[in-house]
A = this chain, B = another copy of it.
């Protein structure tokens, strides 16, 4: 039987997608070979890649003047690729600090330019987003970088900052495809695959075509966005199997009803979980309600002495990978698109029962 898997990433995938992968694993479409064994230059894989891009474009209504790159590198490689490609001779960029992942991007950005931290919630211990009125943007910045869902801290933007003409660059890794977004508000969107897209070993870039320019001298050739676009994401052999699975996930989302349905379910699942946590005096959460993530829900027992018991009992009910990030301790339930509503119900039932027993 399939467990309910709350891992923050690599994360649960739709059972329906995994079943299709399983069925076709040794024999894709009667060809007698696995997708893993197809040449990336052959017509079969070219069709897989083109279909994946077409479906992604349909889901997000990506305008024609935005290009899609399937990158072998993970999301964190873009912390270097963004300044290398987007500074274009400027020396300054704006970064918003809202938690662990946006801070890592800042640290790496500092190696390439003068980073202006235009807003930070560090003094709030990363428990609330800095309101837009506090942002001190630099009109001479090459771009503004932020992370719209902090996977570890459990914060999510449900608004898009208006930064004027400066290109807005966003790390959407952990809530990508969980709601519609007006792509044209961004200069560039990027996301690692292992949350809402597919297996680890892939990231996606959606970039406005006027930002595709020759990168800084010395940029490793695979880190050149413009060259990757010109090569149709095939400057080198792409992770073909991973791209195939991502494409199957896009098709699965379409069959469910698209991003509108993902959005509604994210709302429903996260409300169910937060309501249970809020009405209890036994669990605690730390994030300000308005800024809570619908995808990554960190919580704690008031008394951490029961942490290991909690995890053991959860596991015995096939509720897996609830351990919190090593930096924050406690627990974290990641409830991405592929987590069924029934999984959240099972978790909520367990939370209540555990509280009744030990509370």
Which A residues are within 8 Å of any B CB, using their own CB? 1-3, 5, 7-13, 15, 18-19, 21-22, 25-27, 31-34, 36-42, 72-77, 79-81, 84, 108, 111-112, 192, 194, 198-202, 218, 220-223, 235-242, 245, 318, 320-321, 326
Contacts and interface: CB of A to CB of B under 8 A. Distances in A.
A338 B3 CA distance: 34
Given A26-B2, A201-B72, A320-B32, A12 B40 contact: no
A173 to B, nearest CB: 10
A220 B220 contact: yes
Contact of A33 (B2, B25, B80, B236): B2
Contacts of A1: 27, 32
Contacts of A21: 25
Number of this chain's copies in the complex: 2
A168 to B, nearest CB: 23
Contact of A240 (B36, B73, B200, B221): B200
A118 to B, nearest CB: 23
Contacts of A192: 237
A219 to B, nearest CB: 9
Contacts of A218: 111-112, 218
5 contacts: A13-B36, A33-B320, A40-B200, A199-B242, A200-B240
A21 B76 CA distance: 28
B239 A8 contact: no
A268 B332 CA distance: 55
What are the 6 closest A-B residue pairs judged by CB atoms, nearest first? Answer: A201-B239, A3-B32, A80-B220, A22-B25, A36-B199, A76-B236
A5 B77 contact: no
Contacts of A26: 2, 15, 18-19, 22
